[in-house]
């Protein structure tokens, strides 16, 4: 028969493990995020719940067309955006006549829901830094994305720094009828 002291210690260890897991998992491993707005339609809809992988980008680099969650004003501000990566570090991005050019070459754009109302800053070539990504929303006419810097719009993120990327969207969990990879 176990002593009361041993049972109490086991219970405390169990409670501490639960607290650590509840705190560590969302902070460092996977986070639930809710889509706010229409900027990623038709891929993602307002109100859908997503899971964000916060680990893999510690071991691999983000890739073109990944859907990411990032903090447009830095991690110390709670606001986040969900967008798709188009431009990678060191590349030059330009938008001409609704087409996206990377280093002067037109790239495929299979995710655009509509035409861009404005190319924003990207009407001129934008050279990305060694830690910067160019992101766009799929619903271009309503998306505040890398086309717009803070000088254009207070909410415009401009190019996204790697340190401000929270992670990669890897599964839609709600609504259940759309469960799976977005």
Exposed/middle/buried for residue 38 (C-beta within 10 Å: 0-12, 13-18, 19+): middle
15 part of a folded domain: no
**For residue 126, what pLDDT is reported?**
94
Total tally of structural domains belonging to the chain? 1
Locate all alpha helices (DSSP H) within 52-151, ordered by sequence: none
The CATH number given to whatever domain includes residue 87 is: 2.10.109.10
Question: Does residue 162 lie within any of the structural domains?
Answer: yes
User: Is residue 3 in a domain?
Assistant: no
Q: Name the active-site residue from 27, 36, 56, 83.
A: 83
Would you call 161 a catalytic residue per the annotation? no
| Residue of 125, 58, 171 whose CA lies nearest to 134 | 125
Please check whether residue 61 is in contact with residue 150, taking contact to mean a CB–CB distance below 8 angstroms.
no
- On whether residue 77 sits in a domain, the answer given is yes
d(CA 114, CA 98): 10
Q: How does residue 153 score in pLDDT terms, banded at 50, 70 and 90?
A: low
Q: Is residue 83 part of a domain?
A: yes
Q: Which residue among 39, 54, 143, 146 is the active-site one?
A: 39
Catalytic, 96? Answer no
CB 136 within 8 A of CB 105: no
Number of neighbours of residue 155 by Cβ within 10 angstroms: 12
Q: What DSSP state is assigned to residue 28?
A: I
Question: In this predicted model, which residue has the larger pLDDT, 155 or 164?
Answer: 164
pTM, full prediction: 0.84
Number of Cα atoms under 13 Å in the Cβ half of residue 160:
31
Q: Which domain holds residue 118?
A: 31-178
Identify whether 168 is part of a domain: yes
Lowest mean pLDDT among 31-40, 67-76, 102-111, 115-124: 67-76
Within-domain flag for 67: yes
Q: Supply the pLDDT for residue 12.
A: 86
The sheet with strand 81-87 has its strands ordered as 30-34, 49-53, 165-174, 67-70, 81-87, 132-136, 160-161
pLDDT in tens, 43-99: 999 999 999 999 999 899 999 999 999 988 776 667 889 999 999 999 999 999 999
| Domain-embedded: residue 26 | no
Lowest model confidence (mean pLDDT) among 72-81, 103-112, 132-141: 72-81
Strands (E), the chain: 30-34, 49-53, 67-70, 81-87, 92-96, 99-102, 105-106, 126-127, 132-136, 160-161, 165-174
């Amino acid at each position: 028969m176990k002593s009361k002291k041993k049972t109490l210690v086991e219970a405390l260890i169990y409670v501490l493990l639960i607290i650590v897991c509840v705190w560590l998992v969302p902070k460092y491993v996977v986070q639930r995020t809710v889509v706010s707005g229409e900027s990623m339609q038709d891929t993602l809809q307002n109100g859908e719940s997503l899971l964000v992988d916060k680990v893999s980008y510690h071991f691999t680099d983000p890739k073109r067309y990944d859907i990411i969650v990032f903090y447009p004003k830095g991690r110390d501000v709670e606001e986040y955006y969900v967008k798709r990566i188009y431009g990678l570090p060191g590349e030059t991005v330009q938008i001409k006549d609704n087409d996206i050019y990377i280093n002067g070459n037109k790239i495929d754009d299979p995710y655009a829901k509509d035409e861009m109302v404005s190319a924003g800053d990207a009407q001129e070539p934008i050279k990305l830094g060694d830690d910067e990504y160019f992101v766009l929303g799929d619903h271009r006419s309503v998306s505040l994305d890398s086309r717009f810097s803070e000088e254009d719009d207070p909410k415009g993120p401009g190019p996204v720094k790697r340190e401000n990327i929270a992670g990669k969207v890897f599964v839609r969990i709600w609504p259940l009828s759309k469960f799976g990879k977005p």
